[in-house]
């Protein structure tokens, strides 16, 4: 499938798949979307000193490095699992030039360390940030129950990857979250909201990132 690097509205870049008319990040602003959906609406909602995070759709590693940087500010310890079936290629990462962004440039070495770390192994990026990149399809991934405090659900949209947005998947992810766990996604489709509720989540629509009116956040009360 053809892949191309495009510039989004906030000046940061993303990978675009023209055959699907789908991008890894919002064309309205890759960094703005990541900060709003996953950091502000997700990470900032978890006050624990040690947080277990699952990201579905590790992709470019943008959410990962932003999480690491935010956790340094809040002095939180992060155990981060990033699920990705098709890792981004080194030449694409270079072309994205994320290490030049104001939000990342002071963490360039850590950004490349994240991407050079081995897949399917737990790696210490910093003393307070451990990473396990998992190369696997979501339907094959079987997380242990009551493991995560926070899930970033950043898969491609249900229009192009409906198999990622099923009730069965959401039930599995619900079980993997601890009590008071949080689930966030940029998506706000009605069927996704209904399936999250049926899976057990307490779901709220909240303001979305630039270019998107709403997004969804689910909470776990067991």
Q: What are the pLDDT digits (tens) for 65-101?
A: 999 999 999 999 999 999 999 999 999 999 999 999 9
pLDDT over 90 (residue 212): yes
Query: What is the rounded average pLDDT for all residues in the chain?
Result: 97
Domains and CATH numbers, the chain: 28-219 (3.40.50.150)
**Could you give the CA distance from residue 149 to residue 41 in angstroms, rounded to a whole number?**
14
pTM: 0.96
pLDDT over 90 (residue 1): no
Instruction: Compute the average pLDDT of residues 3-22.
Output: 95
Within 8 A by CB and 6+ apart from 129, the residues are 68, 71, 77, 78, 80
Residue 222 — pLDDT band, cuts 50, 70, 90?
confident
């Amino acid at each position: 499938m053809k892949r191309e690097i495009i510039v989004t509205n906030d000046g940061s870049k993303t990978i675009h798949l023209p055959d699907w008319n789908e991008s890894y990040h919002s064309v309205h602003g890759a960094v703005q979307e990541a900060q709003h959906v996953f950091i502000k609406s997700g990470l900032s909602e978890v006050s624990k000193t040690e947080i277990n995070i699952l990201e579905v759709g590790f992709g470019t590693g943008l959410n990962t490095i932003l999480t690491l940087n935010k956790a340094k500010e809040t002095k939180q310890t992060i155990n981060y699992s990033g699920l990705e079936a098709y890792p981004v290629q080194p030449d694409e990462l270079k072309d994205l030039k994320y290490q030049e962004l104001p939000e990342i440039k002071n963490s360039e070495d850590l950004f490349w360390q994240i991407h050079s770390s081995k897949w399917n192994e737990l790696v210490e990026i910093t003393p307070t940030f451990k990473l396990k990149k998992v190369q696997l399809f979501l339907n094959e991934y079987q997380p242990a129950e009551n493991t995560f405090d926070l899930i970033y659900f950043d898969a491609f949209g249900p229009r192009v990857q409906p198999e990622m947005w099923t009730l069965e998947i959401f039930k599995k992810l619900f079980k993997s979250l601890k009590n008071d766990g949080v689930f966030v996604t940029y998506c706000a489709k009605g069927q996704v909201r209904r399936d999250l509720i049926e899976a057990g989540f307490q779901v709220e629509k909240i303001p979305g990132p630039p270019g998107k009116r709403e997004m969804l956040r689910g909470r776990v009360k067991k």
